[in-house]
Amino acid sequence: MTTWIVTTEPTIAPLCQLAVGERHAVVVGDCEITGVDKVTRLAISGPAEAYAPQVVAAVAAQPGDIILVVNNSVGRVYAGALAAAFHAPMLTGVRNIASGAAVLGRYGGMTFQDVQFDGVAVGLVEPGDIPASAQSHISIQAHDAHAIAPYPATCESEETNAHADINLNAARRIIGVGRGFVAKEDIDLARQLAAVIEAEVGCTRPLVEGKGWMERDAYLGVSGHTVSPQLYIAVGISGQIHHTAGIDQSETIVAINNDETAAIFDIADYGLVGNLYEVLPKMTKAVRQHKNG
């Protein structure tokens, strides 16, 4: 049995942990990866939709093999193309996998589903930290991607996004912001603290879909990211199940809220009842003073 790992980035540790049998990575681009037995490298660039045929041709999966794809915007395109080519089921929320069977997390990990399948299966898996140590012997081979013609594609318009990419799944520390913030610009208070503790900033669903203050990639919860950082700081978040199901696997949870009855305190390891507009600047100042000796 072979586990095929399709990726455009090096953060494949969770995929390697799920892999069964030989690990054969198909790498689109020039990123360096570790933790696999073989690497097939595709020297292609351009719209993922156009170059999907080359990726499909590089994956020689046999019945019983598993294909794992990094769950990002490009990976979802390749996963769909692979599932269609192999007539394979698409699995999301993969927690465990074997030949012909898988365990899938549902509703942010609140429940689990056992599924069975015949032949090849395609699983979408969240990226994570780069492994600390590299394997010493990896068989690397080049694939003649240009032997397969891409789909014709032209660029008719371009839309740029000034926001930096957010990788909540790989973050060791995360600050979550909620409706306790009165204005969009006030989230800078959380970003200032995040900068000094080297954290990412995520948010609850209303700040994405209701107010449009943050990008979709920053959404934490049942329909967003399920994360397990070393430290999660919830600021101005009430603690509804739709959110806490996505963060309750964090090693340490700190809650900051001016409502002492907020549900977030029920799962917090440490709780601070106070006004976030007073607490965050003081925390940021204290951390800076500590780091400066």
Per-residue confidence band for 135, with pLDDT thresholds at 50, 70 and 90: very low
Residues of the chain with CATH 3.40.50.1220: 168-291
Measure Cα distances from 150 to 29, 53, 64, 153, 254 in Å.
16, 6, 28, 8, 49
Scanning the chain, the segments in alpha helix (DSSP H) are 13-18, 48-58, 73-85, 188-197, 205, 241-244, 276-291
* Residue 281 in this model has a pLDDT that exceeds 70: yes
* Residue 14 in this model has a pLDDT that exceeds 50: yes
Contact yes or no for 102/123 (Cβ under 8 A)? yes
Cα torsion 214, 220, 226, 229 to 10°: value is: 90
Question: Which pLDDT does position 123 carry in this prediction?
Answer: 92
Q: How many other C-beta atoms can be found within 10 angstroms of the C-beta atom of residue 184?
A: 12
* Residue 161 in this model has a pLDDT that exceeds 70: no
Q: Which fold has domain 2-147?
A: Rossmann fold (3.40.50)
Biggest distance spanned by C-alpha atoms of the chain: 64
Question: Which pLDDT does position 273 carry in this prediction?
Answer: 96
Question: Which pLDDT does position 133 carry in this prediction?
Answer: 45
Per-residue confidence band for 257, with pLDDT thresholds at 50, 70 and 90: very high
Mean pLDDT for 175-197 is: 95
Q: Give the closest residue to 25 by CA, choosing from 86, 62, 66.
A: 66
Mean pLDDT for 133-157 is: 60
Per-residue confidence band for 275, with pLDDT thresholds at 50, 70 and 90: very high
Say which residue, 152 or 85, is predicted with more confidence. Answer: 85
Helices (H) and strands (E) in the chain, counts: 7, 15
Task: Tell me the CATH number of domain 168-291, given options 3.40.50.1220, 3.30.70.260, 1.10.760.10, 3.10.450.50.
Answer: 3.40.50.1220
Question: Which pLDDT does position 217 carry in this prediction?
Answer: 83
Contact yes or no for 100/64 (Cβ under 8 A)? yes
Question: Which pLDDT does position 136 carry in this prediction?
Answer: 44
Mean pLDDT for 119-143 is: 65
Tokens linked to 206: 């209303």
Q: How far apart are CA 91 and CA 125, in angstroms?
A: 9
Burial bucket for residue 293 (CB in 10 Å: 0-12, 13-18, 19+): exposed
According to DSSP, the β-strands at 111-116 and 101-106 are antiparallel
Burial bucket for residue 176 (CB in 10 Å: 0-12, 13-18, 19+): buried
Q: How far apart are CA 263 and CA 272, in angstroms?
A: 13
* Residue 111 in this model has a pLDDT that exceeds 90: no
Q: How many other C-beta atoms can be found within 10 angstroms of the C-beta atom of residue 185?
A: 9
Question: Which pLDDT does position 163 carry in this prediction?
Answer: 52
